[in-house]
Amino acid sequence: MAESEFARRLRESNSGRLFGFQLEVAEPGRAVVLLRVRSKHRQVHGVVHGGILAALADTAAGVACYMLLPRGTHLATIEMKINYLEPVEKGTILAEARVLRKGRTTAVAECDVRDTAGLLVAKALLTFSIGSREGRG
């Protein structure tokens, strides 16, 4: 799938519309997704909610993995670990994901989440299940 099609699909997806994720790069094994921080992303203490950062990292890593797969292949997150390193109050957040290993049935990716100044604000490690959509009901 071409990067522009991924960008359109992300914009039109529920999470893309809800959170405002924007695809910047989508290539085999690598993806960059950004988020311009709005008030709706902040929790009660005025910083971006950790769940938003996790969703951003998951989206970037999923795109990076999916770009390595044949069209129509099913991909699902089965495990995610994220470390929150710095709070983010404003600006643009950039999530850059890289696939570390793609096997036959699973893929492992990492994602660096950085603020406008380039400071690492979160680090995620994700595992995805790879499989055909055939036979699923």
CB 83 within 8 Å of CB 122:
yes
pLDDT digits (tens, 9 = 90+) for 75-108: 999 999 999 999 999 999 999 999 999 999 999 9
pLDDT of residue 133 exceeding 70, the answer is no
18 pLDDT band, cuts 50/70/90, is: confident
Residue 32 and residue 24: Cα distance in Å, rounded? 5
Average pLDDT over all residues of the chain:
91
Task: Please calculate the CA angle 65-15-62 and round it to the nearest 5 degrees.
Answer: 5
* Per-residue CA distances from 74 to 67, 69, 136 (Å): 12, 9, 10
pLDDT of residue 68 exceeding 80, the answer is yes
CATH of domain 3-132: 3.10.129.10
57 pLDDT band, cuts 50/70/90, is: very high
pLDDT digits (tens, 9 = 90+) for 19-44: 899 999 999 999 999 999 999 999 99
Any residues with CB less than 8 A from the CB of 31 and at least 6 apart, and which? 23, 25, 60, 61, 63, 64, 67, 96, 97
Query: What would the mean pLDDT of 4-16 be, rounded to a whole number?
Result: 75
Amino acid identity, position 71 = R
